[in-house]
Amino acid sequence: SGNLCVFHCQLLCVLSLNTINIPTTVSLSRPPVPFSTKHTQSGRYRKFLVSRPEYFASPGSIKSDDLLIERSVNRGEMNPGEERQLIQQKGRTASIQYSVRVRCDRHYYGNKCNKQCRPRDDYFGHYTCDQFGNQQCMEGWTGQDCTKGIITQGTKDNHIFSHALFGFCRCKYGWQGLLCDECLPYPGCVHGTCVKPWTCTCEKNWGGLLCDKDLNYCGTHKPCVNGGTCLNTEPDEYFCSCPEGYSGKNCHIAEHACMSNPCANGGTCHELASGFECQCPPGWDGPTCAKDKDECSSNPCAHAGTCFDLENGFECLCLPQWTGKTCQIDVNECTRRPCLNAYACKNLIGGYHCNCYPGWAGPNCNISQYTNSINRCASSPCQNGGHCRSLATGYECECLYGYTGTNCEVRPIIVQVDLCSPNPCQNKGQCHSMKGDFYCACTDEYEGKTCSQLRDHCKTSTCQVIDSCTIAVTTNGTAKAVRHILSNVCGPHGRCISQSGGNFTCACQPGFTGTYCHENVNDCASSPCQSGGTCIDDIDSFRCVCPDGFDGQLCELEVNECSGEPCLNGGMCTDLLNDFYCRCTDNWKGKTCNSRDSQCDSSTCANGGTCYDHGDSFRCACPSGWGGSTCNTAMNSSCESGPCLNGGTCIGGGSVFTCICKDGWEGPTCAQDVDDCSPHPCYNGGQCVDGVNWFRCECAPGFAGPDCRINIDECQSSPCSYGATCVDEINGYRCLCPMGRAGPRCQECEFPLTDHPTCLHYEK
């Protein structure tokens, strides 16, 4: 290949060491020819030694010249530069060729590399370096080390020097800007400016040393909500004057927020600490369920169908060749017989094709190729908007939807929709279907279109208040038709007992307590269930939900899983906790000794576990949340996190749980307070206060009683004087004065003369 070197050839870019070893080849374990150099830092002398390996055998060994292969000495002087000098040295044994150049370190110049020049562009200089190491000032700079800027016009007095080419000033301490005409404000100044350095003059509505105190917190932040009025008190402080029904620092807490029925379109209102939350029915959205949810926003109609948003749904208007809820089904156009003079119709995706009889053409084979063809539709035989098609032997009518007959003369049969399915009547009302409508037969306690309103018997019948809890209602004006109606303020588990002054108490059924008999006595307080059973509080009783493997009224009995004799083919059963083990005989295998082939079958591992056959035994790999030899033991129960709120009882296994809520609460996690004020139970304008499984009526002035049905008799205290007749009114009374008397209580004399016979005792 032209390479005359026996052992190796190497090119070195920098020669800085005294010894260079030729690399070891694959076939040799050590360098065969050490190559040694000696050179001075001046570059004037270099000596090369090529020897046998023994010459450099070990430190301190005797180095004999007999071991040298070749000695080469070169003397010369080179200046730093980029050019290389080629040197060849031929000896008796070895030939050496090398090229040499000398380069100064970075930022050093001159023949002896002793002149330093480092470019810079900062406070101490603005220059570059030429090839000889001399400073070259940048544009706009002059002087020693190029630190003096060339003066320009327009700079304020607040500068040290200015720059001519680039037009900027070097400002004095405390000033800034292109012309040094902007003062630096006090450090940390937030909402302030300065007119001289290191000051902080506050903007409008800000104060403090750093102008960081908001003097108009109300205007800046507007913290008061729900119509509250904000008043600035101190810097960064404010006070909200809340309207009636709201409280809290920002008027954010709504008191009885659901009383005004803010949820529209059948939404359910739930009171929160911050106000209320509406649970909207399907098809409605928004904070008050007032926004119709746009079911067309997801573009459900395929194949260019047009979507129409409906209440709680949508409808697709499909092109003629498509049908279905979302226009995804191809219409078989051939069923409508579009081909007039054809022997076959072939349905296509999104269309059809007609195979025409000879002499006919066109998409529907309706164009005659004969000049004397007859138009069978000239007399317009199709009725009720039907479309006529002329055939070779007659015509055919394509009828509108619902119409039938040769000429579309048979009208469609109108199907009566049953408006009572599902039953719209509430509170056990019975629905009766009418023509295009329905009627609800309500129970005696409810009224309204859907029996959703509590009936006020006294609007249509004669009523007499018996006491705080009872009224007598006369239905047809006879004594026999009088019936007594008891107030429902004590709920379904109590009986209202009248007290004096329009007050009342509740007599509770066994198992209930509280002012309104709304609290179910906790029969689980003593933890009667054993073996980890879950106690469910019932009315005046309890029941235990036992974990797997236990039974009995108190979960005190361990279930014997061997009682059903699960082991087949002579296997011996051993009862385990919530499991069993079969000891198989005669080479039978499996969980129940039911197989000759495998230890595993579809029922070996429960709850989705995977069975692995290990010859004489099996192993179940259980999914997350399950354990045990056959994956039948729930590990991390979903009830451990306490998902059931407000005293609800959790029953679960694995990742599934169910909440049994206490009275007054509902929802998947018992988070929703049952609205005990629905339907509204308070009469005569009384306001209902919803509690947990109870309600209270706050009566309008002039009314009393648990449900505000008692009109307070203001005449009971005999306020009218001089034998006047008192007439009771709502929240007041009226006196019918005798002749000669006047005033609200007839205490004034109309004729203040001592000789008047009716005013003998007139008092001045």
Q: Domain limits of the chain?
A: 1-116, 217-254, 333-368, 377-412, 714-763
pLDDT of amino acid 386: 85
Q: Give CATH superfamily name and number for 377-412.
A: Laminin (2.10.25.10)
Highest averaged pLDDT of the listed ranges 34-38, 210-214, 242-246, 599-603: 210-214
Between CA 182 and CA 196 the distance in angstroms is 9
Question: Is 714-763 a CATH 2.10.25.10 domain?
Answer: yes
Q: What is the mean pLDDT of residues 439-461?
A: 76
pLDDT of amino acid 58: 43
Between CA 403 and CA 383 the distance in angstroms is 9
Q: What is the mean pLDDT of residues 292-298?
A: 83
CATH fold label, 217-254: Laminin (2.10.25)
| Amino acid at residue number 190 | V
pLDDT grade, residue 31 (50/70/90)? very low
Between CA 279 and CA 267 the distance in angstroms is 6
Checking 169-176 for CB contacts under 8 A at 24+ apart, the result is 173/197, 174/198
Between CA 764 and CA 759 the distance in angstroms is 11
Between CA 746 and CA 525 the distance in angstroms is 64
Q: Is 356 left (phi over 0), alpha (psi -120 to 50) or beta?
A: beta
Domain pair 217-254 / 377-412, same fold = yes
Q: List b or e across 293-324, with b for residues whose CB sees 16 or more CB atoms inside 10 angstroms.
A: bebbeeeebebebebeeeeeebebebeebbbe
Q: What is the pLDDT of residues 222-237, one digit of tens each?
A: 899 888 889 888 888 8
DSSP label at residue 114? -
Q: Could you tell me the CA-to-CA distances from 169 to 19, 156, 160, 179, 184 in Å, in that order?
A: 59, 9, 7, 6, 15
Provide CB contacts within 8 A for 361, sequence distance 6+. Answer: 367, 369
- Quote the tokens at residue 296: 């067309």
CB 542 within 8 A of CB 513: no
DSSP label at residue 404? B
pLDDT grade, residue 20 (50/70/90)? low
**Three-class DSSP category at 718:** coil
pLDDT grade, residue 129 (50/70/90)? very high
pTM above 0.85, yes or no: no
pLDDT grade, residue 2 (50/70/90)? very low
Q: Does 50 or 700 have the greater pLDDT score?
A: 700
Q: What is the mean pLDDT of residues 266-290?
A: 81
Mean pLDDT of the chain: 77
CATH annotation of 333-368: 2.10.25.10
pLDDT grade, residue 1 (50/70/90)? very low
Provide CB contacts within 8 A for 300, sequence distance 6+. Answer: 307, 314, 316, 326
**Three-class DSSP category at 481:** helix
pLDDT grade, residue 221 (50/70/90)? confident
